[in-house]
Structure 1
Amino acid sequence: MNQAQNSQSTPSDEWPRIPELIQRHDLVPVAKRGVLTLIATVGWALWIYMLLPLGALLAWWFGYQRLDIFVLAEPGKTLATLTLYSLIILLAGLLFVFWAVYNWLRFRGMDRRNAPKPVGAEEIAQAFHLPRESVQLAQGSAHLIFHFAEDGHITRVTASGARAFNENPRPSPNHPTND
């Protein structure tokens, strides 16, 4: 990069570049996808194999008993518990289905979702205590700077390359106007 180009660099040129990644797996060649899947599978298997003894040690330390003592020793109790859980899940699912059907029957054919009415420059000016001309000029500008008083209301709006709009007609107790 020569000296002229270096002096005209923008802030985006100085930011670190993020490498482009392929987010769509269908664009990766099939052979490469297979190799990557195999590497990931082997890596996860090794990870689990190495951590499984540590997990068993931690479980033993915290008093975990083996599954066969509680589940396989009394299969009748296990079956009864699973049946109870299945019934609860079934009843909850039926409740959701009945609720959906009820709402569908109650609200079908009604469209209660309406777009809000458009807000004009006059309403915006009244809401923010700004002159209407300031709001109209701000609506036509691409870049704006808002100036706030300490109590949080907007004191003025400045557009890039434009002069400051009129001061807020409502003076702040901490920032009186220059009248």
Structure 2
Amino acid sequence: MEKPGPRTTARPLIIERPDLQSPPQRVLSAGLTALLWAVWAYLWLPVIALLGWLFGASRFYEEMVVASGDVALLELLGWYALVIGLLAGSLVCWASYNFIRFRGKERRSIRRATTIEEIAARAGFKPDVVRRWQQAQMLSVRHDASGAIESVEIVASTHARTATADGSAGILAGR
């Protein structure tokens, strides 16, 4: 039996991190997924046909096969394609118009940098404490039920130290 103790953290499986997959892996994964869903649907076809027969799908057969309803369906799908094409074309025209209109003009402005004093005032802490937090490599922040910061720990490589508003180590007490 293994001894209890800390273990190294395992790297996450690629299935849990799709952003780690290369584009060919993503295409292969999507293709295999679509293929296997199609096989799964194909395996259910006899049951679907039986249920359709039980619930009167013979009407579908009469309309589509006997009365050549597929011609009307294809005509309707053609109209759908035309409408979709017109909508897509209008969006492309609008995007092109805006591209030409705003080419070379940058209307967006850079936001003003937030000062440490503003951050500290918003969080309810002293600026020197917030400055130490910004210099730390890792923090552990605990929030109360309303989302306000309860405590902040500066996490070191071997131990954690809690920074308080008065600069001492321990539970965050003063604000």
TM over 0.5: yes
User: Per the alignment, in what secondary structure is the counterpart of residue 113 of structure 2?
Assistant: coil
- Give the Å deviation of 1:140: 1.5
1:10 aligns with 2:6: yes
Q: Equivalents in 2 of 1:26, 1:148: separation in Å?
A: 42
Q: Structure 1 residues 69 and 134, CA, compared in 2 at 3 Å: closer, same or farther?
A: farther
1:60 aligns with 2:53: yes
| Paired residue total | 147
- 1:142 corresponding residue in structure 2: 137
User: Per the alignment, in what secondary structure is the counterpart of residue 99 of structure 1?
Assistant: helix
Alignment of 1:78-157 (within 5 A): 78=73, 80-148=75-143, 151-157=146-152
Larger radius of gyration: 1
- 2:164 corresponding residue in structure 1: 165
Q: Normalising by the residue count of structure 1, what TM-score does the alignment of the two structures yield?
A: 0.57
User: Per the alignment, in what secondary structure is the counterpart of residue 135 of structure 1?
Assistant: helix
Q: Equivalents in 1 of 2:135, 2:161: separation in Å?
A: 11
Q: Which has the higher contact order (CA 8 A, sep 6+)?
A: 1
Q: Structure 1 residues 99 and 60, CA, compared in 2 at 3 Å: closer, same or farther?
A: farther
Q: Equivalents in 1 of 2:154, 2:94: separation in Å?
A: 52
Alignment deviations for residues 39-75 of structure 1 (CA, whole Å, 9 cap, x no partner): xx8x8897565422112112333433123145x2584
- Give the Å deviation of 1:18: 6.6
Q: Equivalents in 2 of 1:25, 1:100: separation in Å?
A: 27
Identity of aligned residues (%): 29
Q: Equivalents in 1 of 2:65, 2:102: separation in Å?
A: 52
Q: Structure 1 residues 84 and 155, CA, compared in 2 at 3 Å: closer, same or farther?
A: closer
Structure 2: state its 5+ residue gaps: 16-20, 26-31, 167-172
Structure 1: state its 5+ residue gaps: 28-36, 168-176
Q: Which amino acid aligns with 1:91?
A: L
Structure 1 moving runs of 4+ over 6 Å: 17-21, 24-27, 43-46
Instruction: State the Cα RMSD in Å.
Output: 4.1
Q: Normalising by the residue count of structure 2, what TM-score does the alignment of the two structures yield?
A: 0.58
